[in-house]
Amino acid sequence: MGEEIDLVRALLTSQPRPASLAERRERLDAVASAYGVAPDIRFEPVSVGGCEAEWSLALGSDPSKVLFYFHGGGYCSGSIKSHRGMVGETGRAAKIRTLALAYRLAPENPFPAALDDATAAFEFLLAQGIDPNRIAIGGDSAGGGLSLALMQRLRDAKKPLPAAAWLVSPWVDLQMTGATIDSKAAIDPLIHRDYLEQLTANYLAGHDPRDPLVSPLHADLSGLPPVLVQVGSAETLLDDAVRIAGKLGASDVPTRLEVWPHMIHAWHLWSAKLTAGRQATQSAGRFIAEALGG
């Protein structure tokens, strides 16, 4: 397992860090999709509330059940392309359909644009006649925070909630108070404090970082559906994941935390080369399938 993650680390450090936002977006798409997607998963583009989105369906999966997914990238990068393999394979593992959303990115579209897009897309799913008890939401990094923000908004508006949520390496504290942001900096090849500070400035555009809709660590999390949190031990956002799992549990939300040894940020993206990535994807698939009555 150590040799496998070293190969991924080599991929991620094979080129200098991007200097511009445009380069960062291009680089994330390239490295996250480096191993392609399985040929037997069908992908279908769709427009949702003015945003691009994409359905996926693996052979034998149930199209009446949906994983609604938000990609990571600090609200400033990431795309359907970068996360296509991760989303499609999780849908396969859960034996359900997926919908990945290309929500608007900062700094061009700061908060609350991404949350507004997520809300509109969830309403799109309901308008398609999909029972909310047959919907799970998920996201990695910023997408994990966005998942929690969406559930807060739905709950507070007394609207239907999804049946479950899956959070991978979630970024839930834009004040960046977690100790592992510094203590894990030397071994995390992707996420560091200065990078997070840039992302925060772009996304918030002066908005309060303590707002529970941008930092769910400060939110009232009561009344949310069951949550699976997965995080690697070798990432700076480890404390974000551990703390949000603890807060969810303290709020009486059924919560499972999985800390995967030696894994880096959103390691599922490279499951084609990582046994632990495939195992974590299968674990997420079982959790989602059980929550949706599979």
Q: How confident is residue 292, by pLDDT bands cut at 50, 70 and 90?
A: very high
Is 258 annotated in the active site? no
Is 141 annotated in the active site? yes
Active-site residue among 218, 235, 258, 271?
235
| pLDDT tens-place string over residues 37-93 | 999 999 999 999 899 999 999 999 999 999 999 999 999 999 999 999 999 999 999
Tally the residues of the chain. Answer: 294
Place of tokens 């970082």: 209
Question: Rounded distance, CA 173 to CA 240, Å?
Answer: 7
Contacts 24+ apart (CB under 8 A), 8-17: 8/264, 8/267, 8/270, 8/273, 8/274, 9/189, 9/264, 11/270, 12/189, 12/190, 12/264, 13/189
| Residue 214: predicted pLDDT | 98
Q: How confident is residue 15, by pLDDT bands cut at 50, 70 and 90?
A: confident
| Residue 68: predicted pLDDT | 98
Is 265 annotated in the active site? yes
Q: How confident is residue 119, by pLDDT bands cut at 50, 70 and 90?
A: very high
pLDDT of 2 higher than 90: no
| Region 222-247 average pLDDT | 98
pLDDT of 294 higher than 80: no
Q: How confident is residue 1, by pLDDT bands cut at 50, 70 and 90?
A: low
pTM over the 0.85 mark: yes
Active-site residue among 71, 83, 218, 265?
265
Active-site residue among 33, 56, 61, 141?
141
For 141, 209, 215, the CA distances from 52, given in Å and listed in that order, are: 20, 28, 26
**Is there a contact between 189 and 264 (Cβ–Cβ < 8 Å)?**
yes
Question: Rounded distance, CA 166 to CA 252, Å?
Answer: 17
Average pLDDT, the chain: 97
